[in-house]
Each structure stands twice: as structure tokens, then as C-alpha cells.
């Protein structure tokens, strides 16, 4: 007969010649053995490993860190010469100083991405030599000096939403909307029958900026301007 004695947690077998049948026998007193549970293992995501940024990933607008400073890629070109190793030629602008340089990277070399992020702030007013922006959700104000704004001041208008850029918790730059709507405050009168193809004339806008507009544009007209180029796009 084969028997399983759970109380002793030992398995043993005995044989008997008088019977050819087998049966299971359980002890009347069951003993529960203490179980030791292993501590839960921390969950490890299959995607926890992030691929490194390399020069092959560079594109226009990429933010990279070189020599401890944040840079924005303005232009890039992947070059694969007939002889020698491939490389990436770039033109970059320093977020902090505004300096523009040309730099070449070996193809596939590792590059540190700059932790640059944007927050939308509204330009509210100018206080002396400072431009005041406000976070409309927290009403917190931040200030940029005239040197930080530079020539972009001619496009700034109260109530305009802009992107303020941060790096390592510090403000390093801000971005204007690509297209803005401004009002013509001074321009030579238009002539009846003038068309967009008939030439252009300078017009002064309500921010003080001067742009070339078609001959049919008059004082009081609202127009759309591309802040990247300073060019007239259309009537609003």
C-alpha cells in the first residue's frame, strides 16, 4: 500500500503482498506548514531603457547640449563622402548667448539632449526696461530684459501668448507666435484698382514695426505678419 502522511510532510511507500490494490490515507490531524513568501519583485518595464540620442537623430529644431550649454539646431546636413567616415554638419544657435556657430559631428556619435521645455505665458505689459509675462493659470509673473527680447520687441503686443523656454529651471529664451495680427497705423493711401501684384509700400503697424504691404492696404486694415521673416502674409 502506498500512503502519504501530510502531518509529517514526508512521502513514503510500503508494499504488501496480500493486496494488489492501492489506496490513499490521510492523517486525521492535518498540519499546515508555514510558508515563506518572497518579497514582491519590483516591476521592470520592457521599455524602461531609453535609446540614446545620436547625431543621426539631429533635425531642425533639436535641442542639444554641447560643452555644458544648450543649443538649438537651425540647419543640418548628413554627409557621406566617397572616402572616409560619414558626418553631420550643423548650424546651431546658443539659447543663452544667441551666438550662432557651425559644428560637425561624427555620424552615430552620442549627443546629450538639452532638457529644454516650453510654457505658454501671456505678455501683459512693459515695466521700464523689462517685459512682463504672466502664467494665466497661476498668475505668476516672469520678467525678461530688453537685451533678452532684442529686435523681437517690435512684434510684441499686450495680450499676446508666447512660449517661454526653460533649461535647468532657468529662463533662456522665448518664442513669438509664427503668425500675428497687427493693425496698420500709417501708410500711403491706396489707389483704386491696385492689386497684390501691383507693387508694395512700407506700412507702420501698431507695435512700431514697419513692413512692406501691397498697394491696396490702407490705414486701419488688419494684416497677418510672419514673425520669422517680418513679411506680410495677407489681410486678416
DSSP string across 195-214: -GGG-EEEEEETTS-EEEEE
User: Which numeric CATH code is attached to 116-175?
Assistant: 2.40.50.140
What is the structure's pLDDT at 194?
Answer: 57
Q: How far apart are CA 197 and CA 10, in angstroms?
A: 101
pLDDT of residue 70: 94
Please report the pLDDT score of residue 153 as a whole number: 93
The pLDDT score that the predictor gives to residue 10 is: 41
What pLDDT is stored for residue 192 in this prediction?
A: 60
Residue 94: per-residue pLDDT: 93
- Which segments of the chain belong to CATH 2.40.50.140? 116-175, 179-235
pLDDT, position 51: 54
Note the pLDDT of residue 147: 86
Backbone angles phi, psi at 152, to 5 degrees: -70, -10
Residue 45, pLDDT score: 38
Mean pLDDT for back-to-back runs of 10 residues, the chain (236 residues): 43 42 42 46 40 85 92 93 90 91 92 92 94 94 90 94 92 93 92 65 95 94 95 93
User: Diameter of the chain by CA atoms?
Assistant: 126
Nearest Cα residue to 155 out of 175, 172, 138, 170? 175
Architecture of domain 55-113: Roll (2.30)
Q: Classify domain 179-235 at the CATH class level.
A: mainly beta
pTM, two decimals, is: 0.64
* Cell digits of residue 213: 504691404
Give φ, ψ of 141 to 5 degrees: -105, 145
Q: What is the per-residue pLDDT for 82? A: 83
- Considering the chain, tell me which residue range(s) the CATH 2.30.30.30 domain(s) occupy: 55-113
Q: pLDDT value at position 23?
A: 42
Could you tell me the three cell numbers for 31? Answer: 498540519
Amino acid at each position: 500500500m502506498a500512503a502519504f502522511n501530510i502531518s509529517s510532510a514526508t512521502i513514503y511507500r510500503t508494499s504488501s503482498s496480500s493486496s494488489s490494490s492501492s489506496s490513499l490515507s490521510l492523517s486525521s490531524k492535518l498540519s499546515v506548514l508555514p510558508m515563506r513568501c518572497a518579497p514582491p519583485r519590483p516591476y521592470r518595464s520592457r521599455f524602461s531603457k531609453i535609446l540614446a540620442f545620436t547625431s543621426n537623430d539631429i533635425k531642425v529644431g533639436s535641442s542639444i547640449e554641447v560643452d555644458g550649454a544648450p543649443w538649438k539646431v537651425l540647419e543640418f546636413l548628413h554627409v557621406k563622402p566617397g572616402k572616409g567616415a560619414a558626418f553631420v554638419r550643423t548650424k546651431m544657435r546658443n539659447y543663452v548667448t544667441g551666438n550662432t556657430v557651425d559644428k560637425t559631428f561624427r555620424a552615430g556619435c552620442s549627443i546629450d539632449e538639452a532638457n529644454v521645455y516650453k510654457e505658454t505665458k501671456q505678455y501683459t505689459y512693459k515695466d521700464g526696461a523689462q517685459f512682463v509675462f504672466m502664467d494665466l493659470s497661476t498668475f505668476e509673473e516672469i520678467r525678461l530684459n530688453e537685451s533678452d527680447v532684442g529686435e523681437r520687441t517690435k512684434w510684441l503686443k499686450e495680450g499676446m501668448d508666447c512660449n517661454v523656454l526653460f533649461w535647468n529651471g532657468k529662463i533662456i529664451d522665448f518664442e513669438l507666435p509664427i503668425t500675428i495680427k497687427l493693425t496698420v497705423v500709417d501708410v500711403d493711401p491706396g489707389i483704386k484698382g491696385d492689386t497684390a501684384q501691383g507693387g508694395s509700400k512700407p506700412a507702420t503697424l501698431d507695435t512700431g514695426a514697419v513692413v512692406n504691404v501691397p498697394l491696396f492696404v490702407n490705414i486701419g486694415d488688419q494684416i497677418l505678419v510672419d514673425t520669422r521673416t517680418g513679411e506680410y502674409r495677407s489681410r486678416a
